[in-house]
A and B are shown apart, each in its own frame.
Chain A
Amino acid sequence: MTPTLIWRCPTRNGLPPLPAVASVVTVLVAMWSTASLVEVDFARLIGSLGKMVSFAGNMFVMPEWKYLPHLLGKMLETIEMTFLATAIALVVSLPLGLLAARNATPHLIVYRLVRDLLSLMRALPELVWALVFVSAVGLGPLPGVMALAFVTVGFMGKFFAETIEVIDQKQVEGVSAHGAGWFQVRMFGMLPQALPDFVGTVMYILDHNLRAATVLGLVGAGGIGYDLVMSMRLFQYDRLLPIAVSIYLVVTLLDRLSDQLRRRIIHGAKAKI
């Protein structure tokens, strides 16, 4: 007994649980032993401070106003790519998500196969798939949309499946007990329960895809990315700042929109069938 201690953990012996201590220690040891490998060098960081400040200073110049219409066009293209790719992925992901959910799949083999397919699709980042599709169909937004949709199905299908796996089985039973068929049980008992999380997932993925779409231009797959990289390479700082600001604005706007939509769906602003 150590009566002098005021604080204790809510465990039998009052000490922190061993698994928690072990994980923290493991992470610290791993970080310490790999720091030199990835060249974390504080001297270099501090030494580069001057360069960073001068770069940041370059950013704050008067924007090139006559570039703005072109920027607007490119930004619209980026947004269109994002929405199109997400919409295509949504249509494909819904059925795949059902097949990849343990409690909704017709058979465990189907479950395993679809899961593996989904992880294959998201194994490589958008940029790599974009390279593949650019060499397949040529330059432009089309390979960009294809690459985005491809990777998005991999993520969305997995997220959907995991949402479906945690729904309340009692409500499902309520539907199936009245003689609803296999497909009907999934439509009426499962999907309505998963809907709010679906919307959350779609919103997160829209957000992610918008940012992914901004870099696809790097490999010639459309969007604002090409301008972003070129203005950086050519030291056109008067273009760089408007591009960065416009990306930030669109992402923020999307975030607000998703908040609104989610709240409506969770609390049911109006009656829905």
Chain B
Amino acid sequence: MSIISIKSATKRFPNGFEAIKGISTEIATGSFTVILGPSGAGKSTLLRLMNGLETTTSGSVHVTGETLSKSNLRKTRSRVGMVFQQFNLVERLSVVTNVLTGRLAHRSWLGSLFYLFRNEDIEIAQEALARVGLTDKAWSRADKLSGGQQQRVGIARALAQRPKVILADEPVASLDPVSSEEIMMLLREICDRDGITVVVNLHQVDLAKRFADRIIGMNSGRVVFDGTPAELSPLTLQTIYKRDEIENDTNLDLALSYA
């Protein structure tokens, strides 16, 4: 069973840059997928296509059986949580309010007029915060937290909406190694325990190998590798991180020798 399926999707930005050059793939329900690739390969764009933050130029994206379109955008997003590299928390709001914004998809605009939430929503938010170990920070302002803590709030926000899928766009790129480890473990645990499908963009090959069920390698808008971590050989890494314009890329060899 696949929860997300992408059919010959392309994405061309208004400035003419083609970020996705025809990708077809399926994400299995309950799986943990990591997308690897150099900067500018189109990883973020691919992920953003999956919850409608970007729309395809051609081809289609299907989430939980429905074709993504303008009319079901809100409904789709209520099922697909998103975790960002820069956390994208509303910095001036308290931690718990940020988590509560994950509940907005299920509520009408009337309560929002006075910033009111239902008791059950507050309970769900508190639960989500307990899950990421931040109960004691619930009433702090979001921008007073450290990077690792802010990212955990980001995950709690995604959890609070009770999603089927969590998309994480380079969730550890702005974090130190220990926080990175914690965030990846948290995402893996959410996948295993709650059966939530997780798709993560990563820069770190070692993290990808350790946490993923499946790795998708991307280079300049195309999928160049698709397999298990065990199948990810030094040679395939060469194809993923290959730079078109450079013939004998000694920097590439050097970088991969540590991976």
B157 and A178: CB pair below 8 A?
A: yes
Flag A166-181 by CB within 8 Å of B: 1 or 0 each: 0000110111111111
Which of A170, A173, A181, A271 neighbours the largest number of chain B CB atoms within 10 Å of its CB? A271
A188 and B112: CB pair below 8 A?
A: yes
A175 contacts which of B96, B104, B115 (Cβ < 8 Å)? B104
B105 and A174: CB pair below 8 A?
A: no
Instruction: Determine the residue in chain B with the shortest Cβ distance to A181.
Output: B109
Among the stretches B34-42, B87-95, B202-210, B223-231, the one at the interface with A is B87-95
| Shortest CB distance A264–B (Å) | 12
Among the stretches B76-84, B178-186, B192-200, the one at the interface with A is B76-84
A273 and B77: CB pair below 8 A?
A: no
What are the residues of chain A within 8 A of B89 when measuring CB–CB?
171, 174
B101 contacts which of A170, A188, A193, A195 (Cβ < 8 Å)? A188
Given contacts A178-B158, A179-B74, contact A193 B81 (CB under 8 A): no
Instruction: Determine the residue in chain A with the shortest Cβ distance to B141.
Output: A268
Q: Would you call the interface of chain B mostly helix, strand, loop, or mixed?
A: mixed
**Could you tell me the distance between the alpha carbons of A203 and B92 in the complex, rounded to whole angstroms?**
20
Instruction: Determine the residue in chain A with the shortest Cβ distance to B144.
Output: A268
Instruction: Determine the residue in chain B with the shortest Cβ distance to A169.
Output: B88
Flag B110-124 by CB within 8 Å of A: 1 or 0 each: 001101000000000
Q: CB of A32 within 8 A of chain B?
A: no
B84 and A170: CB pair below 8 A?
A: yes
B93 and A273: CB pair below 8 A?
A: yes
| CB within 8 Å of B: which A227-273 residues | 268, 271-273
Which of A179, A180, A181 neighbours the largest number of chain B CB atoms within 10 Å of its CB? A179
What are the residues of chain A within 8 A of B92 when measuring CB–CB?
192-193, 195-196, 268
Given contacts A173-B53, A174-B84, A178-B158, contact A184 B104 (CB under 8 A): yes
| Shortest CB distance B145–A (Å) | 12
Q: Would you call the interface of chain A mostly helix, strand, loop, or mixed?
A: helix
A271 and B139: CB pair below 8 A?
A: yes
What are the residues of chain B within 8 A of A193 when measuring CB–CB?
90-92
What are the residues of chain B within 8 A of A272 when measuring CB–CB?
93-94, 141
A192 and B141: CB pair below 8 A?
A: no
B77 and A271: CB pair below 8 A?
A: no
B74 and A181: CB pair below 8 A?
A: yes
Instruction: Determine the residue in chain A with the shortest Cβ distance to B110.
Output: A183
Q: CB of A189 within 8 A of chain B?
A: yes
B51 contacts which of A177, A196, A273 (Cβ < 8 Å)? A177
Chain B, interface residues (CB within 8 Å), range: 35 or more
Given contacts A178-B77, A271-B141, contact A187 B112 (CB under 8 A): yes
A175 and B101: CB pair below 8 A?
A: yes
**Could you tell me the distance between the alpha carbons of A182 and B88 in the complex, rounded to whole angstroms?**
18
Given contacts A178-B81, A184-B109, contact A189 B90 (CB under 8 A): yes
Q: CB of B102 within 8 A of chain A?
A: yes
**Could you tell me the distance between the alpha carbons of A183 and B161 in the complex, rounded to whole angstroms?**
18
What are the residues of chain A within 8 A of B139 when measuring CB–CB?
271
B93 contacts which of A170, A179, A192 (Cβ < 8 Å)? A192
| Shortest CB distance B44–A (Å) | 12
**Could you tell me the distance between the alpha carbons of A131 and B86 in the complex, rounded to whole angstroms?**
54
B78 and A179: CB pair below 8 A?
A: yes
Given contacts A187-B113, A271-B141, contact A177 B105 (CB under 8 A): no
B112 contacts which of A170, A174, A184 (Cβ < 8 Å)? A184
| Shortest CB distance A172–B (Å) | 8
B94 and A273: CB pair below 8 A?
A: yes
B90 and A179: CB pair below 8 A?
A: no
What are the residues of chain A within 8 A of B102 when measuring CB–CB?
178
| Shortest CB distance B105–A (Å) | 3
| Shortest CB distance B142–A (Å) | 9
A179 contacts which of B75, B94, B112 (Cβ < 8 Å)? B75
21 contacts across the A-B interface (CB closer than 8 A): A171-B88, A171-B91, A174-B87, A174-B89, A174-B101, A176-B77, A177-B51, A177-B77, A177-B82, A178-B77, A179-B77, A179-B104, A180-B101, A180-B104, A181-B105, A184-B112, A187-B113, A192-B92, A193-B90, A271-B94, A272-B141
